[in-house]
Each structure stands twice: as structure tokens, then as C-alpha cells.
Amino acid sequence: MAKPKGISKGNTRVEAGSSDGFWDRPMLINLLADVLLLAGSAVLAWAGALALQRLPVLPLTQLVVATPLDQVARAQIEQTARNALSGNFFTVNLETAQAAFERMPWVRSASLRRHWPDAIELQLEEHRAVAHWTQQESESRLVSTHGEVFMASTRESLPFFVGPEGSAPRLLVRYREFNDSLAAIGRKQVAVHLSPREAWQLKLDDGVVLELGRDQPKHPLAERLTRFTTHYPAVSSSARSRLQAIGVVDMRYPNGFALRASKS
């Protein structure tokens, strides 16, 4: 016996297995409309952004340097700005420009911000050199007050630091400590040397070389340097002349020191 295709209820005939179509579901239609509207808005925003990048609107006309500078030349800033600041007020890439300015000699850090409607404000922090550092590939290097090694040159009279790569912060700390002790006798350091075996050597501004040796718990460097500064004022003018002729004071002895001729 064949199954009926539908059931009649009064004047309405309902087909077996039938359901409402997409266009009979208002919720689905509204959802689709919302999705299409959102997608259209995103496409319009993207197109607007592309158009803004291509149109010559809000061009950058000023670079304002907001910090006083001692070492960085105006010509260096102008050259870097021409290469790094591309685009308009909205599209310029500040992170890329920041990296470019931080590659300039003497620049420790840089920060940039937009200044409505056509300017970029630049702030630079310069390195403050405290000593020369060993040259690398014929490039002059300096040590900053933060113990950082950077590529730059200067005509300023600075002491020389010599030590293994990465030891500049340690030399700076010791240099400051030694300066405090030597100030009592009116002497300054012109060179500080740290050997690969951790031995310390100082050269003073009167030509005397101090061999301090390695720092040891029982005989720390500060104790040896204090021994030198304690006996230095007692040396007469003639004896001091002989000391300069000898040139080297070996402070590596536990309770005294020795004088020997300079290698030069």
C-alpha cells in the first residue's frame, strides 16, 4: 500500500518532510546582513587607509629636536631624517625611524612622537664618554658613563681602558674607586689595564705605573692602593724623581712594595 504524500488538515495541506526555507527565517537574514555590513565596513576602512597613504595630505614639514646636543651634529640628524622619515603625519613609521637615529654615533637612545599637524618631535640621549676603549676593526671606541662601549671618536683627553671584551663595566667601577683613593695625593689615572688573568695595572699622570695584581680576599686591591697613597707623600722631591725614573711600583707584596725599572 503506498504511503500518503501529505496530510490534509481542514483547507491546509502540509507536505510530509517540508521545512521553512532561508528566506522564511528573519533571524538568519538579519545575521547575514550584519556580517555583510561588517565586511563592507572593513573593506572601506582598508581602502581608505590605502588612499590616505597615497594622497599628499598632512605631509611632514618639521623635525623638532627637543633636547640640547653636544656631540651629535645637525648634519647627521638631517641626513638620517631624510632617509628614515618617509610618509605623511599618519603613515610615518616611528619605530623604524627610532632605530635609524639610534645607529648614529654618540646616540644612546632616541624617542619620537607626532606633533600635530605636520611635525615629528625627536629626543636624543647622548653617550657621555669617560674613557677610550680598544679599537675594533680600525674603528675608534669609547666607554660611556654607563659602562657601555660605543663607536665614536673624540679629541677630549680621556684615560685608556684595556681589558677583555665585555669587561668595560668592571673597569669603570674600579676606575672610579681608584680615583677616590688617588685624589688624596693629587694623582689621576691615564690608563687602567685588566689582563685576561684578572691582574690590574694603573698608569698615573706622573708616569708611574702601579702593578696591583689580582684582587684577593686577604689582600684586596683597595688595601694595596691605600698602602701606596699612604707612603707617597713621604717621598721627598729627589726620591720622587728617582721614582719616576724607575717608573714601576710593584704593589703585589703583602706588606710592602718594590721599585723596578720601566720596560721602556
Domains present along the chain, CATH in parentheses: 62-126 (3.10.20.310), 129-261 (3.40.50.11690)
Cell representation of residue 243: 721614582
> What ranges make up the beta strands (E) of 10-106?
12-15, 62-65
Is residue 162 within 8 A of residue 191, CB to CB? The reply is: yes
The whole-angstrom distance between residue 86's C-alpha and the CA centroid of its chain comes to 24
pLDDT-derived band at 9 (thresholds 50, 70, 90) equals very low
This model's pTM is above 0.85:
no
pLDDT confidence of residue 162:
96
Render pLDDT for 42-73 as a digit per residue (tens, 0 to 9): 777 766 666 655 556 778 899 999 999 999 99
| pLDDT at residue 198 greater than cutoff 50 | yes
Cα–Cα nearest to 228, from 259, 193, 194: 259
Render pLDDT for 166-186 as a digit per residue (tens, 0 to 9): 999 999 999 999 999 999 999
Render pLDDT for 221-242 as a digit per residue (tens, 0 to 9): 999 999 999 887 775 454 555 5
Average pLDDT of the chain is: 84
Torsion 85-88-89-90 (CA) sign: negative
